[in-house]
Amino acid sequence: MKKILFIFIALPFILVAQTDTTFNENKEITSVNEQGIDALVHKYENILKAKNGVEGWRVQLLFKAKQKEIMQLKIDFINLYPEIPAYLEYDAPYYRVRVGNFRTKLEAIKIKHQISKNFPGAYPVPEIINFSQLKY
């Protein structure tokens, strides 16, 4: 009785199941996708290309109106943390120093805590990160 009940319950699921599995010549699976996934991935890639990067985070150390002061801050940061990339940006009327290339805010906060001893005013800011600047 249990076997018949199992067959009646499982049979509809087995018959209706759909897969979009692709095999190569050696009968190895090369991709398993539901219908439409490839189209969504392609659409997402086009959106990222239009933005010229992905949404990410950096840590802003400071912003000032005088370039000389901000350049010294960038040099000090590079001397203390050579492994973290630093960027000097100008957004009228201020120069600002932002560091790091992070995908998540948590990563940025982690670095903020690491550098807060030397740069207490640092805080995470959202930014579009170019693909070439990201580490995988």
* pLDDT confidence of residue 51: 80
pLDDT digits (tens, 9 = 90+) for 86-114: 999 998 899 999 999 999 999 999 999 99
Measured between alpha carbons, how far is 7 from 60 in angstroms, rounded to an integer? 62
Phi/psi of residue 131, nearest 5 degrees: -60, -40
pLDDT digits (tens, 9 = 90+) for 71-89: 999 999 999 999 999 999 9
What CATH number has the domain spanning 53-133?
Answer: 3.30.70.1070
Three-state DSSP class for residue 118:
coil
The ranges assigned to domains in the chain are 20-51, 53-133
Give the predicted TM-score (pTM) of the model: 0.65
Residues of 27-41 as b/e, b for ≥16 C-beta within 10 angstroms? eeeeeeeeeeeeeee
Measured between alpha carbons, how far is 81 from 65 in angstroms, rounded to an integer? 24
Is 57 in contact with 107 (CB distance < 8 Å)? yes
